[in-house]
Amino acid sequence: MGALILLAVGFVFGLVFVQASKTGSVKPVIVLAAVGLVLGLLLASIRVVPAGHVGIVDFFGLVSNRPLNPGINLVNPLAKVVTMSVRTVENKEVMNVPSKEGLTISLDISVLMKLDPAKAVEIYKTVGPRYEDIILVPQFRAAARGVTVAYEAKALYTSEREVLAQKIHDALAGMVSDRGVIVERVLLRAIALPPTVAQAIESKLRAEQEAERMKFVVQREEQEAERKRVEAKGIRDAQAIIDQSLTQRYLQYLWTMTLNQNPNVIYVATEANLPVFRTTEEPEKKSMPSAAE
């Protein structure tokens, strides 16, 4: 690149020197032409690579092994610079995949991926700028079908959905990592089953959930029954202890102490030593005749 620029500049100044030797002076037009040519070559050598990209220098089929970094770069003015993105991009696919039962499932799936900058030159040489359509998409479909065929359709409606997405990610990464494509994540966005199949799966899932709920109810009732047995045993033991300690005199004492707390009841001892109770509530006073009467 530098040699070509120096050669062009040397050629121009050579012409100027020959012209000056013949005429003894240099015409201003020739000087301006020489300066303009040099500036043009310099400007043609400046290439700008955008952020998030790498530049591939292609000089008539001869590709440089060193990719250009983002920013201003000086290259051969006759060379072509192809920019390739190394940013994370999302590739969306809607594909029909088989399940373990032989059902055909419509899967709306996407993959987050990016180009490995260190292998950008190799991909440009062996595949080209449209490497996603050649490397990623076919392998993506193959990986998805290879994973879903080992799972039942209901797995896409349960917690195994994330496991399935991770397995697709691992399978796809193993296929394309050597080619310079970095797979970051696989996302299952939407799943479509035939209406009858989807309804059957939903009914089965509801039945399984109801069975699990009934197991919980039975377990709760068993625990409640055990609690009641323990409570009844405690009451029985308490009554047995109370029955052993109750006597006729103690019952009379409790009765007396209870009635003694009532201010409207008085205790009168009898010859038979039995208590007699009467209330001390005063009868309602009869209304006295007024003096006017």
- Which amino acid is present at 97? V
Which pLDDT tens digit goes with each residue over 39-53? Answer: 666 777 888 899 999
Which pLDDT tens digit goes with each residue over 200-210? Answer: 767 777 888 88
| Pairwise CA distance, residues 239 & 243, whole Å | 6
Q: What pTM was estimated for this model as a whole?
A: 0.55
Tokens describing residue 80: 């072509």
Structural domain spans, the chain:
2-84, 89-193, 248-279
Q: Which residues of 237-263 are buried (b: 16+ CB within 10 A; e: fewer)?
A: eeeeeeeeeeeeeeeeeeeeeeeeeee
| Pairwise CA distance, residues 86 & 70, whole Å | 11
Angle at 118 (CA atoms; ends 117, 120), nearest 5 degrees: 60
Tokens describing residue 218: 């039975």
Q: Kindly give the interhelix angle for 137-148 and 160-176, rounded to the nearest 10 degrees.
A: 140
Q: How far is CA 76 from CA 5, 59, 153, in A?
A: 8, 8, 57
CATH number for the segment(s) 89-193: 3.30.479.30
pLDDT of residue 277: 53
Which pLDDT tens digit goes with each residue over 98-134? Answer: 888 888 888 889 999 999 998 999 999 989 888 888 8
